[in-house]
Copies of this chain bind each other. A is one copy, B any other.
Amino acid sequence: MNGAKRGASRATTIIDIAKVAGVSKSTVSLVLKDSPLVKPGTRQRVNQAIEQLGYVYNRSAASLRTSKSSFVGMVISDLMNPFFAELAVGIEDELNDFGFVPILANTNENVDRQARVLQSLLEHGVAGVIMSPANGTDAWTLAATLPRSLPVVLTMRRVEGSPLPYVGPDNRTGACRAVRHLIGLGHRRIAFIGGFGTMTTQSERLSGYFDALQEAGLQRDETLIFDAAPTRNGGMDAAARALAHSGRPTAAFCFNDIVAIGVTRAIALRGLRVGADIAVIGFDDVVGAEHNLPPLTTVSADTRLMGARAARGLLGLIEGADPATASFTGETRLVIRESCGAQQETIGGTT
């Protein structure tokens, strides 16, 4: 057992704590291990003594014995996308309630960095990991990196062939809903903008886009699919290509909101009106979607709730639940604002 007193000369020991709390050394030890054997009143006295003496429990030492950690790793692929920050906040809120300390590591879509991050989380003995895999992650590498004993939940991006539990929105139905709305507004040439074919999220959303076209008896036109980095600049670049298309689309369904924000910006820069001249719909409903000019119509999967579900799934695994129970597919809903042109009069007010 080991402790470090806050800025003092001699390290506080559990003997000191036991004296102050008026309990035995082993009772202090039980409290430190979160044992259910200690009565609430006693636990409170010990914790007060710990507080008073400024004792820091050395969990590195403890985790060797108990293999328990308060850390839960959240491994995300792109911290610059506000969507992931919102997801992380949803995860955090849930984990905090259960006494875990969520720590976030950003892989920046780099599989090598992801491998180092996972390795380091394992070395520090985290209690579990929630990860949104970097683009290019394969099931085999993931299985080879993560010990089977470690509770892991994948979120937002499936890894084909991986048996790990997965929490994410119903991308296909959500995308179908958005494109159906555009068709209902009279659009026939609808672009799909953003993401890459290697991303499972793109193929799921693209499937929904095709579903809606098929429902309406519209022909697929592969030239209306514009791959691009899932970023604001990716959206701007792809929009420039879409606007230069000989059969220019009258509407764009975007891979995500930051792509859609870039698309609306590119349209405005050309003196065209988003909504009136070209309809735009995003996906995610990030906080910035509502504050975009014009406010973005988008598919919400209730990001924070999704984060909370991933966290609850992981907490279940930590407690030994069947991995099958940790998976969850979230319903989506279309949030109609101004960028789709359904509310023309509102758009008029801002120009």
Chain A: residues with CB nearer than 8 A to chain B? 2, 4, 6-7, 54, 56-61, 63-64, 69-71, 73, 79-80, 82, 85-86, 88-89, 92, 96, 101-106, 108, 113, 116-117, 119-125, 143-149, 232, 261-262, 264-265, 268-269, 271, 287-288, 291-293, 349-351
Supplied contacts A6-B146, A71-B124, A80-B287, 19 more A-B pairs, CB within 8 Å: A7-B148, A57-B123, A58-B64, A59-B120, A60-B125, A61-B64, A80-B82, A85-B85, A92-B108, A96-B113, A101-B117, A101-B120, A102-B106, A104-B104, A232-B291, A262-B291, A264-B293, A271-B350, A288-B288
Distance to closest chain B CB from A1 (angstroms): 12
In the docked arrangement, what's the CA distance between A349 and B266, Å? 12
In the complex, which residue of chain B has the Cβ closest to the Cβ of A264? B293
* Most chain B CB neighbours (cut-off 10 Å) among A80, A86, A124, A265: A124
Closest B residue by C-beta to A73: B103
The interface centre, meaning the residue of A125, A147, A149 with most chain B CB atoms within 10 A of its CB, is A147
Q: Which residue of B lies closest to A84 (CB)?
A: B85
Contact B123 A56 (CB under 8 A): yes
Known: A96-B113, A147-B6, A287-B80. A71 touches B120 (CB 8 A): yes
Query: Of the candidates B56, B86, B88, B144, which one forms a contact with A7 in the assembled complex, judged by CB atoms under 8 Å apart?
Result: B144
Residue of B nearest to A4 (CB): B147
- Distance A268 CA – B292 CA, assembled complex (angstroms): 11
Residue contact A104 to B106, C-beta cutoff 8 Å: yes
Q: Are B105's CB and A350's CB within 8 A?
A: no
